[in-house]
Amino acid sequence: MSRLPEMLLAVIRAGRGRAFPLLLLLLAAGLLMQPDMQPLLGIREAQFDHYQRLLPRQRDSEPVVIVGIDSQSLVQLGQWPWSRDLIADLVDKIHTGQPLVLGIDVVFAERDRYSPEVLAKHIPDMAAGTLAVLPEPDRKLARALEGTPTVLAIAGLSQALPGGRQPAKPLPVFDHDRRRDAFLPHFVSALVSRPIIEAAAAGEGLINATPELEKTDNQRGVLRRVPALAFVDEQPFLSLPLEMVRVALGDGGNVRTENGPQGVQAIHIGDYRLPVLRSGELLLHFGRSSAHYYLSAADVLAGAYDPELFRSRFVIIGFNSTGLQDRIVTPLGESLPGVDIHAQVIESLLASQALQRPYWIQWAEMATLLCIGLALIAFVPRLRARYAVLSFALASIAILTGGYLSFFAARYLFDGASLLFLLCPPFISLLGNTLITADTLRRAAEAQLQNSREEAARMNGELDAARRIQMGLLPDTATLFPDERRFSVAALLEPARAVGGDYYDCFMLDDRRVCVAIGDVSGKGVPASLFMAVSKTLTGTLTRRHSALGSAFRDIEAELNRENPEYLFVTAFIGVLDIDTGHLEYVCAGHDAPLIVRNGEVLAIDIRAIAGPPLCAAGSYPFESAGMQLQAGDLLCLFTDGVTEAMNGNEMFGNDRLRATIATFRSLAVQDCASALRDAVRHFEAGHPPADDLTLLLLRWHGATGSSN
């Protein structure tokens, strides 16, 4: 354990602690490409709302007048819905002042409750003649709208209503583009006013808006984006305020889109231009609310205002009562009637002002993140801790300042807060590595003088104990089958170091089947020896549990992969010999093919059809088994690459020398064969240190009746 600080120090010095921060930076870059992922979405929206609170849009002019259906109107004129007669009177009062256009933020989807047909159902005893002379409220409202610049509201629906209709007044001229239009909202149907009312209006505009909900349940949704252009049954419609401007411009109100590489980026209505997202949504720059342009519907009907007040202005009839639940929370923290949003959209269009987040700004944020992140990774490990903190503070100030400047100068929404949030983990990791390196250097210098001799002695003792334990895990083939005459087996293992990663095993599955296994763990030393112990244990356990070798191999790999933090892998060969018939079933995972000595001839077991990758190398490989028939007297030789890759300084021992050596083993006992092959390898090495662990497992099948040799 006393060498651990030195090992840690070597790793830190080699990579200067940059690998993990670089991984965190790449992860941050991936998160930045997911704009709707929390917590980045919350951070981004909070930052953009802060921009608006610092610099709300100045509402210098008031081109819009809102006639509100407020609490006063409900008290004086009765609960909502009002009769269409009353709405018609309100429309007539407004049009007397000759406004540019009138927008009605109400959908008249059902018959008036005071229409003769509805009254006949509710008051069946009323004389038919009396109902016949009653006026039709919808017809009166239609006459009030006919020939006037009036726009009705429609609400897009994701599903068609039973017996519903499609809106009848889409944009008269619109250039369709399949690629661009794919990003725009598409509604299957819409909630529209009754045909007689709809036919009298000059246009129809959408009033859909979906506030982004905050996480806290006790807050209303915050409206930041407003739909500007959408399709209903593949027909194009503007939002209500934009359609009002189009109708007000008359023949000069042609609508066209300005397209960019990512889709629509602006909408032109006549000479007015409004930047939008590719989804056709407007990032509305909100201004502070004001009561100057709000009029009560009751006061308008009572003639409290001069009709000249409406001349050459945009007029909207909408709800302005908390009881009707048409309230919107803005990024400024204000709770406004929904009709106020329409007024702000008209003001934004007339001033050609809107917040902008074009497609390239995300790439600018990505470039900023990577440039600053890579600069931190390059220079922070070289700085003292105090200077590293100062450099990160300066970079953070620069990022946030750039975001505010881009908003103040051009109303661009640059997400500096998310960049700062994403840069914190890499910087903390870098700073931690800097502090750990300094502390490790100090501790290592102190410990090196005190513990060098003690460490060496302790390590030698521990490795010697580990060697004894490892060798004790292997079966003693000399005493394993004392009374067996049908086969004989011998094995040996010599690690290249104190401990190694090779293993072998030999055991009876039942009274007629013997299992032999050999394996080679990648690497050397203690990690390989520990993994070797696990591999050998699993091989014995799972082979006994399964009747099919292929299934056993798949389970062995699954268990080894379960806890493999060092990503080690194992080459292995397992064979099951029926000692009564001589049939050998085997599975191979990246291991060298065993050899068979038969009547002085050396044959290699054919593993081409079933050979798979080493265990833990590919994961979930479908290992299969194969089989072959042994003849009485056959010698099965299993070995690891410590035999074939033994070096004498110039060349390796190789397969040819191995074959030539074991070809002479016809008359030798298996234990003598193992010793002779080991001696041949060591003689070939000529004193050079072993290149790898040397492991041998030899089995000779004497036949069903057995033999004495």
The CATH number of residue 617's host domain is 3.60.40.10
Judgement on whether residues 603 and 534 belong to the same structural domain of the protein: yes
Judgement on whether residues 242 and 329 belong to the same structural domain of the protein: yes
- Least Cα distance to 574 among 612, 601, 616 occurs for 612
416-420, 455-459, 462-466: which is most confident: 416-420
Judgement on whether residues 640 and 547 belong to the same structural domain of the protein: yes
* Domain's final residue, options 300, 319, 351: 351
The three-state DSSP-derived secondary structure of 276-341 is CCCCCEEECCCECCCCCCEEEHHHHHCCCCCHHHHCCCEEEEEEECHHHCCEEECCCCCEEEHHHH
Q: Does 218 score more than 60 pLDDT?
A: no
Average pLDDT over residues 622-634: 92
Does residue 545 form part of some domain? yes
Q: Does 558 score more than 90 pLDDT?
A: no
Judgement on whether residues 424 and 503 belong to the same structural domain of the protein: no
Residue 488 — very low, low, confident or very high, per pLDDT cuts 50/70/90? very high
Neighbouring residues of 423: CB distance < 8 A, sequence distance ≥ 6: 25, 28, 369, 372, 373, 376, 392, 395, 396, 399
Does residue 13 form part of some domain? yes
- Least Cα distance to 681 among 518, 523, 516, 496 occurs for 496
Judgement on whether residues 259 and 308 belong to the same structural domain of the protein: yes
**Between 548 and 87, whose confidence is greater?**
87
* Domain's final residue, options 351, 383, 415: 351
Other CB atoms closer than 10 Å to residue 609's CB: what's the count? 7
Maximum CA extent, the chain: 128
Residue 217 — very low, low, confident or very high, per pLDDT cuts 50/70/90? very low
Spell out where 120-234 has E strands. 150-157, 186-187, 189-191, 203-206, 225-227, 229-232
What kind and span of H or E run contains 480?
A: helix 477-480
Phi/psi region, residue 482 (left: phi>0; alpha: psi -120 to 50; beta: rest), is alpha
Percent of the chain with pLDDT over 90: 45
Average pLDDT over residues 372-398: 90
**Cα 424 to Cα 380: distance, rounded to the nearest angstrom:** 13
Judgement on whether residues 421 and 550 belong to the same structural domain of the protein: no
Judgement on whether residues 204 and 239 belong to the same structural domain of the protein: yes
Does residue 465 form part of some domain? no
Count of structural domains, the chain: 3
Does residue 57 form part of some domain? no
Average pLDDT over residues 68-76: 90
**Between 470 and 271, whose confidence is greater?**
271
pLDDT tens-digit readout, 633-677: 999 999 999 899 999 889 999 999 999 999 888 778 899 999 999
Judgement on whether residues 426 and 300 belong to the same structural domain of the protein: no
Considering only 36-45, 390-399, 461-470, which range has the smallest mean pLDDT?
Answer: 461-470
Judgement on whether residues 372 and 502 belong to the same structural domain of the protein: no
Does residue 361 form part of some domain? no
Considering only 94-98, 521-525, 682-686, which range has the smallest mean pLDDT?
Answer: 521-525
Judgement on whether residues 333 and 205 belong to the same structural domain of the protein: yes
Judgement on whether residues 563 and 631 belong to the same structural domain of the protein: yes
With a threshold of 0.75, does the pTM exceed it?
A: no
Q: So what's the pLDDT on residue 130?
A: 57
Judgement on whether residues 432 and 574 belong to the same structural domain of the protein: no
Distance of CA 481 to the CA centre of its chain: 58
pLDDT tens-digit readout, 544-554: 888 888 888 88
**Between 133 and 167, whose confidence is greater?**
167
Q: Does 66 score more than 90 pLDDT?
A: yes
Helix, strand or coil for residue 381?
Answer: helix
Residue 459 — very low, low, confident or very high, per pLDDT cuts 50/70/90? confident
Q: Does 6 score more than 60 pLDDT?
A: no
Mean pLDDT of the chain: 86
pLDDT tens-digit readout, 592-607: 999 999 988 999 999 9
Across the strands, what pairs with 316?
66, 103
Placement of tokens 């953009």 in the chain = 48
Does residue 452 form part of some domain? no
Does residue 307 form part of some domain? yes
* Domain's final residue, options 351, 377, 410: 351
Average pLDDT over residues 193-214: 82
pLDDT tens-digit readout, 282-306: 999 999 888 788 999 999 999 999 9
Q: Does 678 score more than 70 pLDDT?
A: yes
**Cα 686 to Cα 648: distance, rounded to the nearest angstrom:** 6
Q: So what's the pLDDT on residue 665?
A: 84
Does residue 96 form part of some domain? yes
Q: So what's the pLDDT on residue 212?
A: 52
**Cα 271 to Cα 350: distance, rounded to the nearest angstrom:** 9
Residue 375 — very low, low, confident or very high, per pLDDT cuts 50/70/90? very high
Across the strands, what pairs with 571?
520
**Between 17 and 311, whose confidence is greater?**
311
Q: Does 437 score more than 80 pLDDT?
A: no
Provide the domain limits for residue 31: 4-44+366-447
Distance of CA 265 to the CA centre of its chain: 27
Considering only 3-17, 263-277, 471-485, 675-689, which range has the smallest mean pLDDT?
Answer: 3-17
- In the structure encoding, which two tokens stand for residue 590, read together? 């990246």
Q: So what's the pLDDT on residue 373?
A: 92
